[in-house]
Amino acid sequence: MPNSFKEILAAAKQNGVKKLVVPCPVTTDLPLLAEAAAAGLIIPILVGADSSLAALVKGSSLGNGKFELVEEKDPQQALGRALALVRSGKADILMQGGAAPQELLDSLCDKEQGLLPKGGVISFVSVFQLLKREKLILVTDTFINNNPTLVEKQKILENALQLARLLGIETPKVAVLAAIEQVNPGIPSTLDAAILSKMGERRQFGKAIVEGPLDIDCALSQVAAGRKGLQSAVTGNVDIYLVPEIDTGHLLAEALVFFGKMQTAGMVMGTEKPAILNLPFVSAENRLMEIALACLACPKGGING
């Protein structure tokens, strides 16, 4: 079970080489792709105009390694071509490249050409490496869903549980966060948290411990929970923090990175194949970890497996 980013990278290398497709890659993508290829994680597939791609690659470290070019002269069609390669099985992972984040998300959710199963919900899971313990924590949703309904929160939690289990966490401990730790009909997030907790109690999420509502101090500290008279099976050892809405999720992720100096990487979940966004609170160094996470989410084996 990986307990650090270094261990995630090692586990991903054991999963086989994957093909990662990038529509209209930008200059900053190329060193990352070269590093991931040199690490034995991927073979990059670049989609765009051959002439511009060849010039881009020639001046980069990627030119010394193995890669593929797919001709698409129209930049507006490059993302569609990349998605088609993933749907057909000719590529395993989709990376944002030159597409705008919302353009990528809209394409992933397209009913005809996307990668979202019927009835599914797309979400973003941020993975953090704790500073003082050998432990990974997951926070979701930190980018995509603005004000999810209870049904959407159920799907968002299921997505996070899937990633947690890929990371070897057999019985994930989930804190469903709210402003307070008591159920209050005037605060809808506490009602949603209580329902999700009851669903967990009835094993609707499989082998997982789901508890809420929890405010952040009760989730983090047994002392704080005890002071408030709360008996919690997850307090002080949470694996997944499920936030009530995007303001909380995005601000929490940025605060952990910029104030807390924690390392983070993340992945789009809920899609049939892994997808990688380029988000501003993920450092250039940790984008390699996002590729490693995506490789772990692929079936074992690959080009060399």
Q: How far apart are CA 80 and CA 119, in angstroms?
A: 22
Task: Say which CATH class 1-116+271-296 falls into.
Answer: alpha beta
Q: How far apart are CA 158 and CA 200, in angstroms?
A: 11
Give the pLDDT confidence score for residue 130 in this predicted structure.
92
- Could you tell me the two tokens for 208? 């997982």
Q: Which of 215, 208, 252, 199 is nearest to 233 (CA)?
A: 208
Q: Assess whether the region 1-116+271-296 and the region 122-268 belong to the same CATH fold.
A: no
Which residue intervals of 39-182 are DSSP H helices? 50-58, 75-87, 101-108, 150-166
Q: Which of 256, 213, 232 is nearest to 126 (CA)?
A: 256
Chain centroid offset of residue 243 CA: 15
Q: Which pLDDT tens digits describe the chain residue by residue (305 residues)?
A: 889 999 999 999 999 999 999 998 888 888 899 999 999 999 999 998 877 787 777 767 776 678 888 888 888 889 999 999 999 999 999 999 989 999 999 999 998 889 999 999 999 999 999 988 889 999 999 999 999 999 999 999 999 999 999 999 999 999 999 999 999 999 999 999 999 999 999 999 999 999 999 999 989 988 888 888 888 889 999 999 999 999 999 999 999 999 999 999 999 999 999 999 999 899 988 999 999 999 999 988 765 44
| Burial (Cβ within 10 Å: 0-12, 13-18, ≥19) of residue 118 | exposed
User: 218 with 232: CB under 8 angstroms?
Assistant: yes
3-state helix, strand, coil in the chain (%, to 5): 40, 20, 45
Q: How far apart are CA 299 and CA 159, in angstroms?
A: 17
Measure the CA angle with vertex 242, ends 241 and 248; round to 5°: 95
Q: Could you give the C-alpha distances from 102 to 24, 233, 247, in angstroms and in order?
A: 16, 38, 17
Question: What is the chain's Cα-based Rg?
Answer: 20
Give the pLDDT confidence score for residue 305 in this predicted structure.
41
Domain boundaries, the chain: 1-116+271-296, 122-268
Buried b (16+ CB within 10 A) or exposed e, 133-167: eeebbbbbbbbbbeebeeebbbbbbbbbbebbebb
Give the pLDDT confidence score for residue 63 in this predicted structure.
64
Give the pLDDT confidence score for residue 21 in this predicted structure.
96
Q: Which of 104, 120, 129 is nearest to 2 (CA)?
A: 129
Cis peptide before 141 (omega within 30 of 0): yes
Q: How far apart are CA 199 and CA 204, in angstroms?
A: 5
- Could you tell me the two tokens for 207? 């082998």
122-268 in CATH: which number? 3.40.718.10
Q: Could you give the C-alpha distances from 304 to 21, 70, 244, in angstroms and in order?
A: 18, 22, 42
Give the pLDDT confidence score for residue 302 in this predicted structure.
61
Give the SS3 label for residue 122. Answer: coil
Q: How far apart are CA 175 and CA 238, in angstroms?
A: 6
Q: Which of 252, 253, 260, 208 is nearest to 234 (CA)?
A: 208
